[in-house]
Amino acid sequence: MILFGLILIVSIAYIGLIISFIVGLNRVLVQPSADNESGMPISVIVAFKDEAVNLPTLLEAMADQSFPKDKFELILVNDHSSDNSIPIAERYCLSNINFKLINLPENRTGKKAAIAYGIDSALYPLIALTDADCLPPKRWLKAVSSEASKGASLMIGPVTMEPLNGIAGKFQALEYASQMASAAGSCGIGHPVIASSANLAFRNDILKVSEATLNPRVTSGDDMFLLHHAKRLPGAKISFMGVKDAIVKTSTLKSLSKALDQRKRWASKSIYYTDRDTIITGFVVLLFSIALIGLLIASFIRIENLFYLLLLITIKSIVDFILLRRYLSFVNAKELIKVFLPLQLIYPMYIAYSFFVSLFTKILWKERLITGVRYDKSH
């Protein structure tokens, strides 16, 4: 009886959490398109390692930005690439006067070090981040500049995944959409819990970001530690760029196994978080997933438990559907609704498995081991 009481509490917490995200999402997705012709100048930083396949697409998109070329610079930070990335970057820098390539010193490695090195080289206090495998829209920088002009210190941008080939692509895209919907919704209620470096901007004259800010002792998670840093600063305004001009596209991985490896990498950094909102949200989602798995197992012992399992899955599906449908409509990806029900059935096991496996296995990213120690709040 006590166990069922705990399951009920966790279920109410999860449903309440998603409903609050729905409220927040509706607040941030009612903004008009970016229209700020004057604009604040921007330094765009892209840290890359062995991205020869993806760089041309990104660099073409940046060269095609509608934002005045004399008001933004693109800083490409090479993190010891061993492929053809450097010649590609050099070629684009020659044909675009506002592009520049810098190489991370031999004694520094990793994305966080590369981002910090890029920040040190930036001309402007407004910094925008994206990844080498991303495709920003033509008016992306206008959207960033417009949001910054409203007084935002940290701007979280929407991200969507493509291509949607096969079940693997659709599964990844929908799972990622659920994260971005949560990012927007939590930001809309004033308690942001997720950010993505695929589309993130900040006022460095306010945040004063350094490598220590990004917690270099944990290999990944630059975006999340930057978010947590901003939340600790009194008066720092965090906003979500709820305009279509701000939607950045990133690539799906080729298989579900690679997607699961990515999820484990994301989960591995969560044990180093110190932000209360993020910790509570993560625990609620994890515990609710475990509760559903527990009820599934209990259904084989007592068939009556199947009723409670189906009831919770139904309620969960309703609130999740409302949240996701609103976000998918915003990013023009409503076709992903077709895989919503299959995802609902396996998602609790996916969440629980990726979290617990990440605690006990070594995870590689860019041929580097994901490592970390507890974060010191003094940084």
Contacts of 191 (CB under 8 A, 6+ apart): 277
- Which regions in the chain score pLDDT beneath 70? 1, 31-38, 361-379
What pLDDT digit, counting tens, does each position of 245-277 carry?
999 999 988 777 777 777 777 777 788 889 999
Q: How many CB atoms lie within 10 A of CB 41?
A: 16
Contact predicate 365/265, CB 8 Å: yes
**What SS3 state is found at 43?**
strand
pLDDT score of 246: 96
What is the DSSP-derived secondary structure letter of residue 25?
H
Residue type, position 216, single letter: P
**Among candidate residues 254, 270, 267, the one with its CA nearest the CA of residue 350:** 267
Q: Any idea what the Cα angle at residue 215 is, between residues 143 and 151, rounded to 5°?
A: 30
- State how far Cα 325 lies from the chain centre: 19
Report the alpha-carbon distance of residue 127 to residue 144 in Å, rounded: 9
Q: Looking at the chain, list the stretches that DSSP marks H as alpha helix, in order from N- to C-terminal side.
A: 2-28, 55-63, 85-95, 111-121, 140-149, 166-188, 204-207, 222-232, 256-269, 276-301, 305-330, 340-360
State the greatest distance between any 2 C-alpha atoms of the chain, in Å, as a whole number. Answer: 70
Closest among 124, 47, 55 to 96, alpha carbons compared: 55
CA 371 to chain centre: 20
| Coil, helix or strand at residue 374 | coil
Q: What per-residue confidence (pLDDT) applies to 379?
A: 32
Closest CA to 115 of 192, 226, 217: 226
- For position 34, what pLDDT does the model report? 58
Q: How far is it, in rounded angstroms, from Cα 243 to Cα 155? A: 12
- At a CB cut-off of 8 Å and minimum separation 6, what does 88 contact? 52, 55, 56, 59
What gap in Å lies between CA 319 and CA 23, rounded to an integer? 11
Element (H, E) at 105: none
Q: What is the pTM of this model?
A: 0.90
> Distance (Å, rounded) from C-alpha 267 to C-alpha 356?
9
Cβ pair 285, 263 in contact under 8 A: no
Q: Which residue, among 207, 110, 95, has the nearest Cα to 155 in the 3D structure?
A: 207
Q: What is the pLDDT of residues 137-176, one digit of tens each?
A: 999 999 999 999 999 999 999 999 998 888 888 999 999 9
Angle between helix axes 340-360 and 305-330 (nearest 10 degrees) is 100
Could you report the per-residue pLDDT of 51-83, keeping only the tens digit for each? Answer: 999 999 999 999 999 999 999 999 999 999 999
Say how far apart CA 121 and CA 124 lie, in whole Å: 9
Tracing tokens 């001309």 back to the chain, one arrives at: 123
Residue 335's CB is within 10 A of a number of other CB atoms, namely 12
- The residue ranges of every structural domain in the chain are 9-23+275-362, 36-255
pLDDT of residue 173: 94
d(CA 214, CA 211): 5
CATH number for the domain formed by residue range(s) 36-255: 3.90.550.10
Burial (CB < 10 A; 0-12, 13-18, 19+), residue 367, is: exposed
The closest of 358, 242, 323 to 15, measured between CA atoms, is 323
| Cβ neighbours of 80 (radius 10 Å) | 15
Q: What angle do CA 127, 128, 129 make, to 5 degrees?
A: 125
Distances (CA, A) of 364 to 215, 241, 350, 355: 18, 32, 19, 15
